[in-house]
């Protein structure tokens, strides 16, 4: 039986997933990116300083990660290093964006896969926001349609949390989380200029000069967000995990893991980072070599050569290509499929024991859930690793504000050389993000982005091996093949962003 899950909702962009189900087991899955974009073509021949602005338009959710990756790549191409303040402001802007994104993903994009929204119909209290939602949900239940402005119903058939107090409490936090996202975005905008697409992030620093007022405003906002993460997000996630323990074993991808590292400690963009860079294969962590990354396109709608390295990358669209089923390329590391994202980020640190806070948090939460670190490769594992990332990042950002020197410069005067090239790598919220720039005559000759969701939603490679999400779906038992709430929970756990994947 062939079932298409698309159009998938509660994700970013246009994703379809085609499944084949036999005897209530998903035996095949194809991730389909449905829209061509072409940012790398747009960038050719332009002023290099357009790059960190234009690549931010790839996405409205993780724009700063693109600006940061682009800035790192340009810093290497120009042979410059940001001043200490510049790097700290980069970190403050990017880190706050991670906090926004994790809250958005857990509450708005995933929680209602588990939390029973219909429980609110029994709400007898007087909280005006909950009363409003109760009335919307009752109207939706009566009409069996989504009510304008309230995208709660209809929903997929399946088991949801049974405890009304938990369900209603999580719903209250769903509403509060939007306020917290606003605060995280305000914090980024203090130094970046605005959200979503920051005007202030540049190679070599940030155009905003940090003042004591800026710093204390940023601290106040991030402290509120950190408290929400610790007091509400973590307990809500643990309640979901307690209600759905099977999901520690559902949705395992069948390859390696890779992180590029996040939040450098010192100005050099290749400095040691709060989250380390690394590749996990067979439980062992190795260094990452960008030269081993290639992109296959046998099943993607492009006619350029397959298996090219990032610095050779091409983008020639071929919408009618025979056998192709997606606009997403298939990146591979030394020919291997890897998953990127929160589980990769946490595993790289946990397996090396190089971040005591990560070790403590993984051990504590894994102990509470009765799981081993290997089970972080699962639906719940991805959710937990996002939450651990949020705790660690929030603490780091507050410490980082203390390191700003308000009198010192935060940016460099830039002179664009005629030639040069550079890789810029960071962790976007959804995982490993790589930009490559090459200059000729002071202009961009080549620009390539290899993006987290391109890895996770990749199609088969040239050898026929599936991408991370495809592999996580294959083998899944589904109670109702026509609905597949299990598969949708797996897809949501990756937090796919198709705007990024097909950039
Ligand atoms: Ni459009 Fe993005 C993140 C990047 S995912 S959200 O996080 O880069 O491919």
Q: Write a three-state SS string for 363-421.
A: HHHHHHHCCCHHHHCCHHHHHHHHHHHHHHHHHHHHHHHCCCCCCCCCCCCCCCCCCEE
User: How far is the centre of ligand 1, averaged over its atoms, from the C-alpha of 165 (Å)?
Assistant: 34
Q: What stretch of H or E contains 26?
A: strand 25-33
Beta carbons within 8 Å of 113's beta carbon, 6+ residues apart:
10, 156, 485, 488, 489, 492
pLDDT for 106 equals 98
What is the position in ligand 1's atom list of the atom closest to the CA of 453? 9
User: How far is the centre of ligand 1, averaged over its atoms, from the C-alpha of 454 (Å)?
Assistant: 9
Q: What pairs with residue 22 in β-bridges? A: 25
With the most atoms of ligand 1 within 8 angstroms of its CB, the residue from 37, 196, 428 to mutate is: 428
User: How far is the centre of ligand 1, averaged over its atoms, from the C-alpha of 84 (Å)?
Assistant: 26
Asked whether 214 and 191 are in contact (CB, 8 A), the reply is yes
Residue-wise pLDDT for 171-209, tens only, equals 999 999 999 999 999 999 999 999 999 999 999 999 999
User: How far is the centre of ligand 1, averaged over its atoms, from the C-alpha of 500 (Å)?
Assistant: 5
With the most atoms of ligand 1 within 8 angstroms of its CB, the residue from 343, 393, 431, 468 to mutate is: 431
Higher pLDDT, 14 or 99: 99
Q: Give burial (CB, 10 Å; 0-12/13-18/19+) of 61.
A: buried
Distances (CA, A) of 385 to 363, 391, 399: 12, 10, 21
Q: What pTM was computed for the model?
A: 0.97
Distances (CA, A) of 466 to 260, 374, 471, 492: 22, 21, 6, 18
Q: Give percent of the chain above pLDDT 70.
A: 100
Q: Give burial (CB, 10 Å; 0-12/13-18/19+) of 120.
A: buried
What is the position in ligand 1's atom list of the atom closest to the CA of 65? 8
With the most atoms of ligand 1 within 8 angstroms of its CB, the residue from 59, 431, 450 to mutate is: 59
List the chain domain ranges.
2-116+160-501
The tokens describing 365, both together, are: 């939460």
User: How far is the centre of ligand 1, averaged over its atoms, from the C-alpha of 432 (Å)?
Assistant: 9
With the most atoms of ligand 1 within 8 angstroms of its CB, the residue from 31, 58, 451, 503 to mutate is: 451
With the most atoms of ligand 1 within 8 angstroms of its CB, the residue from 430, 458, 496 to mutate is: 430
Task: Give how far the C-alpha of residue 31 lies from the chain's centroid of Cα atoms, to the nearest Å.
Answer: 17
Residue-wise pLDDT for 250-302, tens only, equals 999 999 999 999 999 999 877 899 999 999 999 999 999 999 999 999 999 99
At residue 166, does pLDDT exceed 80? yes
User: How far is the centre of ligand 1, averaged over its atoms, from the C-alpha of 498 (Å)?
Assistant: 8
What is the position in ligand 1's atom list of the atom closest to the CA of 499? 1
Return the residue matching tokens 């209600």. 243
Is the torsion defined by CA of 296, 298, 299, 303 positive or negative?
A: positive
At residue 443, does pLDDT exceed 90? yes
Sheet architecture: strand order including 273-281? 284-286, 273-281, 256-264, 338-340
Distances (CA, A) of 126 to 47, 115, 129, 130, 163: 57, 21, 9, 8, 20
Nearest CA-CA partner of 54 in 70, 78, 77, 33? 70
User: How far is the centre of ligand 1, averaged over its atoms, from the C-alpha of 123 (Å)?
Assistant: 37
What is the position in ligand 1's atom list of the atom closest to the CA of 454? 9
Task: Give how far the C-alpha of residue 14 lies from the chain's centroid of Cα atoms, to the nearest Å.
Answer: 16
What is the position in ligand 1's atom list of the atom closest to the CA of 69? 8
pLDDT for 89 equals 98
Instruction: Provide residues with CB under 6 Å of ligand 1.
Output: 12, 59, 61-62, 65-66, 428-430, 433, 451-453, 497, 499-501
Return the residue matching tokens 């099943």. 299
DSSP annotation of 249? S
Residue-wise pLDDT for 224-251, tens only, equals 999 999 999 999 999 999 999 999 999 9
User: How far is the centre of ligand 1, averaged over its atoms, from the C-alpha of 463 (Å)?
Assistant: 26
Nearest CA-CA partner of 197 in 56, 94, 66, 300? 56
What is the position in ligand 1's atom list of the atom closest to the CA of 452? 9
Residue-wise pLDDT for 101-147, tens only, equals 999 999 999 999 999 999 999 999 999 999 999 999 999 999 877 77
The tokens describing 482, both together, are: 């026509």
- In this structure, the dihedral spanned by the alpha carbons of residues 308, 428, 484 and 463, taken in order and rounded to 10 degrees, is 20
Letter string b/e over residues 97-114, b meaning 16 or more CB atoms within 10 A of that residue's CB: bbbbbbbbbbbebbbbbb
| DSSP string for 215-280 | HHHHHHHHHHHHHHIIIIIHHHHHHHHHH-GGGGSSS--SSEEEEEEEEESSSSTTS-EEEEEEEE
At residue 438, does pLDDT exceed 80? yes
What is the position in ligand 1's atom list of the atom closest to the CA of 58? 1
Beta carbons within 8 Å of 148's beta carbon, 6+ residues apart:
none
With the most atoms of ligand 1 within 8 angstroms of its CB, the residue from 429, 432, 492 to mutate is: 429
User: How far is the centre of ligand 1, averaged over its atoms, from the C-alpha of 60 (Å)?
Assistant: 9
Q: What is the mean pLDDT of the chain?
A: 96
User: How far is the centre of ligand 1, averaged over its atoms, from the C-alpha of 413 (Å)?
Assistant: 29
User: How far is the centre of ligand 1, averaged over its atoms, from the C-alpha of 255 (Å)?
Assistant: 20
Q: Are strands 308-309 and 284-286 parallel, antiparallel or unpaired?
A: unpaired
Cis peptide before 136 (omega within 30 of 0): no
User: How far is the centre of ligand 1, averaged over its atoms, from the C-alpha of 163 (Å)?
Assistant: 34
Asked whether 52 and 203 are in contact (CB, 8 A), the reply is yes
Instruction: For residues 195 and 179, give the distance between their C-alpha atoms in angstroms, rounded to a whole number.
Output: 15
Instruction: For residues 443 and 445, give the distance between their C-alpha atoms in angstroms, rounded to a whole number.
Output: 6
Asked whether 86 and 414 are in contact (CB, 8 A), the reply is no
At residue 462, does pLDDT exceed 80? yes
What is the position in ligand 1's atom list of the atom closest to the CA of 59? 1
User: How far is the centre of ligand 1, averaged over its atoms, from the C-alpha of 451 (Å)?
Assistant: 7
Task: Give how far the C-alpha of residue 104 lies from the chain's centroid of Cα atoms, to the nearest Å.
Answer: 11
User: How far is the centre of ligand 1, averaged over its atoms, from the C-alpha of 137 (Å)?
Assistant: 32
What is the position in ligand 1's atom list of the atom closest to the CA of 60? 1
Q: For the residues 459-482, what does the mean pLDDT come to?
A: 98
Asked whether 457 and 498 are in contact (CB, 8 A), the reply is yes
At residue 28, does pLDDT exceed 90? yes
Q: How confident is the model at residue 367 (pLDDT cuts 50, 70, 90)?
A: very high
Residue-wise pLDDT for 373-429, tens only, equals 989 999 999 999 999 999 999 999 999 999 999 989 999 999 999 999 999 999 999
The tokens describing 473, both together, are: 């779906």
> How is domain 2-116+160-501 classified at the architecture level of CATH?
Orthogonal Bundle (1.10)
């Amino acid at each position: 039986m062939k079932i298409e899950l698309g159009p998938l909702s509660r994700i970013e962009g246009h994703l379809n997933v085609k499944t084949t189900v036999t005897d209530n087991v998903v035996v095949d899955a194809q991730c389909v990116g449905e829209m061509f974009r072409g940012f790398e073509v747009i960038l050719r021949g332009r002023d290099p300083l357009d790059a960190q602005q234009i690549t931010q338009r790839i996405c409205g959710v993780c724009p700063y990660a693109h600006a940061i990756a682009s800035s790192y790549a340009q810093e290497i191409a120009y042979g410059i290093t940001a001043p200490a303040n510049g790097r700290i402001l980069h970190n403050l802007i990017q880190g706050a964006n991670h906090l926004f994104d994790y809250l958005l993903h857990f509450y708005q994009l995933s929680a209602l896969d588990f939390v029973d929204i219909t429980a609110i119909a029994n709400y007898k209290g007087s909280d005006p926001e909950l009363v409003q939602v109760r009335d919307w949900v009752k109207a939706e239940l009566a009409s069996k349609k989504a009510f304008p402005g309230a995208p709660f119903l209809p929903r997929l058939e399946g088991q949801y949390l049974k405890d009304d107090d938990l369900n209603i409490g999580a719903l209250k936090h769903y509403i509060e989380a939007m306020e917290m996202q606003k605060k995280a975005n305000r914090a980024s905008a203090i130094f970046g200029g605005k959200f979503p697409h920051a005007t202030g992030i540049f190679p070599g620093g940030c155009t905003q000069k940090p003042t004591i007022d800026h710093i204390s405003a940023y601290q106040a906002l991030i402290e509120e967000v950190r408290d929400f993460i610790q007091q509400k997000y973590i307990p809500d996630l643990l309640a979901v995990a307690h209600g759905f323990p099977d999901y520690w074993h559902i949705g395992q991808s069948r390859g390696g893991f890779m992180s590029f590292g996040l939040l450098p400690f010192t100005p050099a963009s290749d400095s040691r980072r709060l989250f380390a860079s690394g590749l996990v294969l067979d439980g062992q962590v190795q260094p990452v070599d960008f030269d081993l990354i290639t992109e296959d396109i046998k099943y993607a709608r492009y006619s350029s050569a397959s298996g090219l390295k990032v610095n050779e990358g091409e983008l020639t669209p071929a919408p009618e290509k025979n056998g192709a089923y997606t606009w997403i390329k298939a990146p591979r590391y030394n020919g291997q499929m890897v998953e990127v994202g929160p589980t990769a980020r946490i595993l790289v640190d946990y397996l090396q024991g190089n971040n005591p806070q990560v070790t403590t948090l993984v051990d504590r939460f894994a102990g509470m859930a009765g799981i081993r670190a290997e089970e972080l490769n699962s639906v719940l594992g991805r959710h937990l690793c996002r939450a651990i990332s949020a705790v660690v990042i929030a603490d780091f950002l507050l410490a980082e504000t203390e390191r700003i020197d308000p009198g010192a410069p935060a940016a460099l005067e830039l002179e664009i050389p005629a030639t040069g090239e550079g890789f810029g790598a960071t962790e976007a919220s959804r995982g490993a993000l790589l930009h490559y720039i090459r200059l000729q005559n002071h202009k961009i000759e080549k620009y390539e982005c290899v993006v987290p969701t391109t890895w996770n939603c990749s199609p088969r490679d040239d050898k026929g091996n599936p991408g991370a999400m495809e592999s996580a779906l294959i083998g899944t038992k589904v109670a109702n093949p026509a609905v597949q709430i299990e598969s949708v929970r797996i897809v949501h756990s990756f937090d796919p962003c198709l705007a990024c994947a097909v950039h």
